[in-house]
Structure 1
Amino acid sequence: MSVKSAVRVLEIFELLRNYPQGLTIKEIGTMLNFPQSSTFNLVKTLYEKGYLSRTELKKYKLGPKLIDLGTSSMESMDLCRDARVHLEKLMQQVEETVFMAILSGDEMVYVAKIDNNRSIRTSAQIGSRRPMYCTGLGKAILAFLSNEKREGLLAKMKLEPITEHTITDRNELEKQLRLFKDQGYAIDNEENEEGLYCIAAPVFDATGDVVAAVSVAGPKDRMKKRHEFIVFHVLNTTRTISRNMGYSQTGKEGV
């Protein structure tokens, strides 16, 4: 049996995740249909404990203590911990920024980022979420999901333009995903951020399911000049991580 106050705390966190600029106590209570007195007490407690922070306009947003918890959670994940040495090696080989992401709901969330000293500026950070359809990491995961799960995710997606290069036609996206599965890696060609080009490949677990993806991201011109070189090292890295997770099947594209 769930505890009402605990459920409400989780619902507050889930709500504020979508409002980085924060919400007032009244807005939180109204949007979640909570009594104002309960909302006030919950928000006040979470603020005092550091789980929420408050702006000058008295709006509340997710607080710094959640960062510590999230970091500890990710560090406890075998995948993230065990993969890090291989991600760092990949960064040294290609001299570009390296990312790892996992599927979370109908989005992808970054769980690792290894910067290079010539990394370009990007809004992607550990813990941030992105749509699946416009990122190399997301498309690498989508391409290798089961047909049923991929269709379920695509059916719920609104293919909204993020940049002028974003694919917003489902048929075109599905055609691209089939190509990516055949070649074993995915590409984001300025579809999520202008000027950014990404090459990403899937990571599989012992059951053969795709559980994550690894990408290399950098300026488009520089990445395209070294395209095959980067693809080679990305695939080598994801093969190694997959093997370390117990993946041993043959015949699956890309591994």
Structure 2
Amino acid sequence: MSVKSAERVLRVFELLALHKEGLTIKEVSELLSFPQSSTSTLVKTLFEEGYLSQDALKKYKLGPKLIQIGTVAMESLDISSQGQPFLKKLMEEVQETVFMALLSDDELVYVAKIDNNRSIRTTAQPGYRKPLYCTGLGKAFLAFLPGEKRSEILDKTPLISITDKTITDRKTLEKELERYIDAGYSIDDEENEEGLFCLAAPVFGADGTIQAAISVAGPKERMLTRKDFIIDKLLRTSKQISESIGHTSN
């Protein structure tokens, strides 16, 4: 059973999150259909405790204390932080560079890179963005996103050749993505950087949707000699990270 005062605090936070310009006590009261007297007491208490701030026009906004709490909450749910121990172990097992990426505005953004002492030079670094269609990590997203979202991304993504091996035909790419769905992992065969071979796998969240992707990358010749071994370790690691953020395997 919910506590009315706690519920009202949450409604105030949710309302002010939608009104970044701020609201007066009267506006909060009217929009939430709360009595003005109790709304005034509630809002002033939250202001005094630092959960709300007030501007010169007497409008209330979300306060600095919520930033601290939100930052901690983000860190506790940060897939990169959660995955670090698993990624480090994967790197030690395969002795190649390991990456993690998230989806951001229809591109991938690298959030983790763990180098091995024999890592090859690559343009991929944490914070860097790359297109989805020509990278192992990106193709993992395309393969395991819902079909409608995949089509939406491909509709507005020009398939430009980056190396001689970049796939620039959409039908060919889509057939390849179907194979990746069956296999459980994706491949970048020198499609983004010459000489670089990459194997990537999805990381699923509690709701069963892809939340991130991880990969192992290295020189093509060296990667191919141990491909099956690397795939085995990669898939096991992606499963472990998925489970650590709440995914339950069927």
TM-score, normalization: structure 1? Answer: 0.69
SS state at 1:187 partner: strand
- Match of residue 243 from structure 1: 243
CA contact (8 A) 1:91 1:116 kept: yes
Alignment of 1:89-108 (within 5 A): 89-108=89-108
Structure with bigger gyration radius: 2
- Alpha-carbon distance in 2 for matches of 1:130, 1:184: 22
Residues 187-222 of structure 1 deviation map (CA, whole Å, 9 limit, x = unaligned):
000000000000000000000000110000000000
Check 1:75–1:129 CA distance in 2 against 1; reply closer, same or farther (3 A cut). farther
- Match of residue 155 from structure 1: 155
- Match of residue 119 from structure 1: 119
Amino acid in the other structure paired with 1:244: S
Amino acid in the other structure paired with 1:94: V
- Alpha-carbon distance in 2 for matches of 1:114, 1:141: 20
- Alpha-carbon distance in 1 for matches of 2:73, 2:198: 27
- Runs (4+) of structure 1 exceeding 4 A deviation are 72-77
- Alpha-carbon distance in 1 for matches of 2:75, 2:175: 36
Amino acid in the other structure paired with 2:105: G
Residues 7-49 of structure 1 deviation map (CA, whole Å, 9 limit, x = unaligned):
xxxxxxxxxxxxxxxxxxxxxxxxxxxxxxxxxxxxxxxxxxx
- Alpha-carbon distance in 1 for matches of 2:77, 2:104: 14
Point out where structure 2 has 5 or more consecutive residues left out of the alignment. 1-18, 22-71
Pairwise CA distance, 1:82: 0.9
Point out where structure 1 has 5 or more consecutive residues left out of the alignment. 4-71, 251-255
SS state at 1:89 partner: helix
- Match of residue 139 from structure 2: 139
TM-score, normalization: structure 2? Answer: 0.70
Residues 206-254 of structure 1 deviation map (CA, whole Å, 9 limit, x = unaligned):
000001100000000000000000000000000000011111141xxxx
Residues 162-208 of structure 1 deviation map (CA, whole Å, 9 limit, x = unaligned):
10100000000000000000000000000000000000000000000
1:171 matched to 2:143? The reply is: no
Aligned-CA RMSD value: 1.7
Alignment of 1:1-255 (within 5 A): 77-250=77-250
CA contact (8 A) 1:74 1:80 kept: no
Amino acid in the other structure paired with 1:235: L
- Alpha-carbon distance in 1 for matches of 2:73, 2:200: 24
